[in-house]
Amino acid sequence: MHKIVPIHAGEYEAEPEITVKVPGRFHLLGEHTWFAKGNTLSMAIDQGLFLSVSQRPDQNYRVYSVALNERKKISSSNLKYRKEDRWANSVKAVVSSFMEFGIQIPGLNFTVLSEIPPDAGLGTPNAMKVAAAIALRSLFAPNLSDANLVALLERANTHFLKTYAHRADILTALYAKAGHLVRIDHNKINADLVAFPDEGYSVILTDSRVPRLLAREELALRIHECVRAYEIVRSDPDAPADFNQLTESILEEITDIPESVRRRVIYIIRESESVREAVNALASGDWFSFSRIVNRSHEGLRDRFEISCPELDWLVKRALEFIIPDSPDLVCSRMTGRGFGGCTYAIIRTADEESYARKLDEYERIFGFKPVRYKVTPSDGAGILRS
């Protein structure tokens, strides 16, 4: 029995009817290609979020976050986004999406216990939404298909939370498998599993601890510019219908796009193709090519998409110092997520873990922030622990 179960019982004086676990995640490649139906390569990690649910005698909702020691009271008659509800809006969004679909949801008690590192961009809000959706389906709509579940989660994001669909996040949480990466084609509502080497290498997430006050706003501006450029390209009669067939030469012939935006769109084009190349490299055991693809992607995020920062670049450089010239080893590093702070990931030889940790001792002296390291492994997707 997971520790969330007695916590829930103590909070509400009722045993949970279901407990769901959903992993955190990070994206290795392609997280900014979604608007153009590109490709993403992601990893579910072995730190997860747990959600327990039980029914109430009334039509209201209570949500308790163990980690934050916060409680939210929500009326079923007023399921609206409220800024002050912060994290609880994720649960509200899913309940609202189910009810709009015609699935009646009675009053419920929710308890949330997250072991995902906070404020590191590793998917805590998404994990909470996926966990709530799985619990609601199990309790009230057991015949709901995976495709409809994904659609309801995407609607929760786009209509209730006014953000983008987060399909890569949703599919990674649902379909991940231990020992594998997850490749998502945003044209599809399923995912492909890609075997990841399980011996001799370690995956290290390093949280830069840079305050990310501007990350959401700045990234939204970058994406808005790229979406507008993409719309201009799509309206061109010579442009291919499939974004993945768009070439840099076609883009160069379209004059209505500012040069800074053109650089970012070119990065998106290359990044989507890089996912395919990376999957092929992993399948053939070509660690050198995979490493080169990842390292090249970080250069693009830094120089073309322009969402890196000196702290992230410094962390990436420290990992790349373990590259041995002409060696076929798997050694690579890249920022992940919104940028302007947040995490890098490094894939290095397990034998070099301690040396990498020692290199980070200089980081705090240089930048004033103390980085936090997390060793992670590719893990299973969402599952029901108690029903």
> How many Cβ atoms are within 10 Å of 58's Cβ, its own excluded?
11
The pTM score is 0.92
Tens digit of each residue's pLDDT (9 = 90 or more) over 6-55: 999 999 999 999 999 999 999 999 998 887 788 999 999 999 999 999 99
Active site residues: 169
Residue-wise pLDDT for 76-104, tens only, equals 888 899 999 999 999 999 999 999 999 99
Beta carbons of 30 and 40 less than 8 angstroms apart: yes
Q: Write the burial class of residue 148 (CB in 10 Å: 0-12 exposed, 13-18 middle, 19+ buried).
A: middle
Closest CA to 42 of 154, 211, 168: 168
pLDDT at 148: 97
Q: Which two tokens stand for residue 256?
A: 């209505």
Q: Domains plus CATH for the chain?
A: 4-195+380-386 (3.30.230.10), 201-224+274-376 (3.30.70.890)
Q: Which two tokens stand for residue 280?
A: 């092929």
Which amino acid is residue 57, in one-letter code? P
Name the nearest CA neighbour of 385 among 142, 135, 25, 182: 135
In this predicted structure, what is the pLDDT of residue 253? 67
Question: Tell me, what's the pLDDT at 196?
Answer: 96
Task: Render pLDDT for 256-283 as a digit per residue (tens, 0 to 9).
Answer: 777 777 788 888 888 988 999 999 999 9
**Which residue, among 98, 94, 100, has the nearest Cα to 170 in the 3D structure?**
94
pLDDT at residue 387 greater than cutoff 60: no
Q: CB of 358 within 8 A of CB of 235?
A: no
> Which helix (H) or strand (E) covers residue 313, if one does?
helix 310-320
In angstroms, the Cα distances linking 282 to 245, 250, 285, 296, 330 are 23, 30, 5, 16, 10
pLDDT per position as a tens digit, 109-153: 999 999 999 888 899 999 999 999 999 999 999 999 999 999 999
